[in-house]
Chains A and B, each alone.
Chain A
Amino acid sequence: MKPSMEERVQEALRDETPEHRVNRMWAGIEGRRAAKKTPARWLGFAAVAAAVVAAVVLWPEPNPTLALEDGSSVPARMNPDSTYTFSDGSRIEASADGHVDTLSNIEGEVAFALRSGAAHFDITPNGPRRWRVVASGVEVVVVGTVFDVERTSEAVDVRVERGVVLVRGANVPDGEQRLEAGDALQVALVGSEREEETAPEAASEARPVQEVQQVPVDGPVDSEPPAAAETTLDDLLRYADAARREGRHPQAVRWLARASSEYSEEPRAALAAFTQGRIELDSLDRPAAAARSFARSLRIGLPRPLRETAQALRAESLGKAGDPGALAAAERFLVRYPQSQYRQQVMDATGAGEPTP
């Protein structure tokens, strides 16, 4: 008997927590419990002083929201041509024409908007909160780094001096790009003349700039996928999952297309092609492309339980695309799978009738 969806979900999910996470959480628990202990439990003045110093240096500040280094509140609007130093040592330097607003300052996260001009961000790594900087639909997510953001009427430039950032936005290639030290990215704004010419800009540091191939965010399915990089099959499938989960179906299709073409010898490549076909058919309404993806999945070698489904969906896709081969595909399917649950679906999509005995 076929397992239910709930059973399949239970079976697919991991039971055990990864060891590194177990250890990391235990260290966090010990730290929090130690921070809660009162000074009276420590013997001697020296021990008390040491405990206070340790609490200040090692554990996050008790105030969950970010403040300026003098203890005053972070202003809602920062002055141009000014430097702001924060309680965790981070710093924002607004250029002469840089206008930075504070969007939010809550426990665990702080967000700023660059309204115009440029600003330099120097974020203390391993701090207790995440930093986000947004500029005209482009979002930079920070986990301890030094970077510059400049906004003009046509583009947003992001240059990373140290650390790692993620840049997200509708016009960011593949919807999201990871930049490391020495990388730079220029994102054309919607409606600008440079919208179709978004290109990387060389940074002044020695490390070469990350090449970002020009691919429209929602371009034709048959466009070339991004240039191959040192990306594992697991990475590609993970990126595809994340994109699909966030509704970024064109990006998910790109990742899956790379997975099935670059790792065509791997068993999971067939499943990647199959999933690509599902997205193209169900979410993107691209039946011709879906038919090709299902065909590729069958060629690479789908697991037996999925072959009937792939055949059915290929025939359905051909029918929806108005492909002249749809009828033949449907008839072959109906002969091969006379008891299939997909019979009616295939006949409806292709106009095929019941095969003659």
Chain B
Amino acid sequence: MPPDKELVARCLRGDSWAEEALYRRHVHKVERVAARLVRNSHDIEDVVQDAFVQAYSRMDTLQDPSRLSSWLVSIVLNRARKKLRRRKLTRLLGLERSLDDEGLALQAHSRASQEDRAELAAVDRLLETLHLEDRICWTLRHIEGHSLQETADLAGCSLATAKRRLKRATDAVDTLRGETP
């Protein structure tokens, strides 16, 4: 399978095979990030599709093809932010529940234990209470495993800001940890 640099070059030439290959290579990461934040199956798919459509239309602006993955994650984060802000509005209108809710407990491995799922559900409820940007930073750092600098770059903020957001989120998580034997 060609490297990202070659796939990007072929996409820019209109190679539809390369477009699909690029999608299938990166969709798992993009969908994971969307899923951890958006947590609604319909919205997750919406956000992922929007992100790739945007990526294909702006691929000529990608200066360093070796950073394709990070670039895609940045795009999906922005789409997720838009989706979540719109959801906040629908909640104000009393349209809270969805048929397609997909919290973290439903994103578990099939072999995850019930205890694991219970813990995921507790983490989910906690993350719901965080400010969106704090949640993004905590998710990128502690669920997706990015370094501090990567977290700041992906979230589109300075390292100092990322650290502050992580501290706030981590303090809240520690409160949960203190309540769980």
Contact = CB atoms under 8 A, between A and B. Distances in A.
B95 A17 contact: no
Given A33-B56, A103-B93, A166-B99, A6 B31 contact: no
B23 A26 contact: yes
Given A22-B27, A25-B27, A245-B121, A237 B95 contact: no
Interface in A310-342: 312-313, 341-342
A41 to B, nearest CB: 12
B95 A29 contact: no
A241 B118 CA distance: 7
A348 to B, nearest CB: 14
Given A25-B49, A32-B49, A268-B114, A132 B123 contact: no
Contacts of B104: 9, 13
B85 interface: no
A183 interface: no
A9 B139 CA distance: 11
A32 B53 contact: yes
Interface string A281-297: 00000000000000000
B24 A22 contact: yes
B116 A245 contact: no
A341 B103 CA distance: 31
B81 interface: no
B99 A10 contact: no
Interface stretch (B62-70, B105-113, B154-162): B105-113
Interface string B45-56: 110111011001
A9 B116 CA distance: 8
Nearest to A345: B181
B163 interface: no
A40 interface: no
Interface in A1-50: 5-6, 8-17, 21-22, 24-26, 28-29, 32-33, 36
Contacts of A108: 42, 46
B115 interface: yes
Interface of A: 5-6, 8-17, 21-22, 24-26, 28-29, 32-33, 36, 103-104, 106-109, 111, 130, 132, 139, 141, 143, 166, 168, 237-238, 241-242, 244-245, 268, 271-272, 274-275, 278, 303, 306, 309, 312-313, 341-342, 345
15 contacts: A5-B180, A9-B119, A12-B109, A13-B36, A17-B27, A25-B45, A26-B24, A29-B56, A104-B90, A108-B42, A241-B105, A242-B101, A244-B121, A271-B113, A275-B114
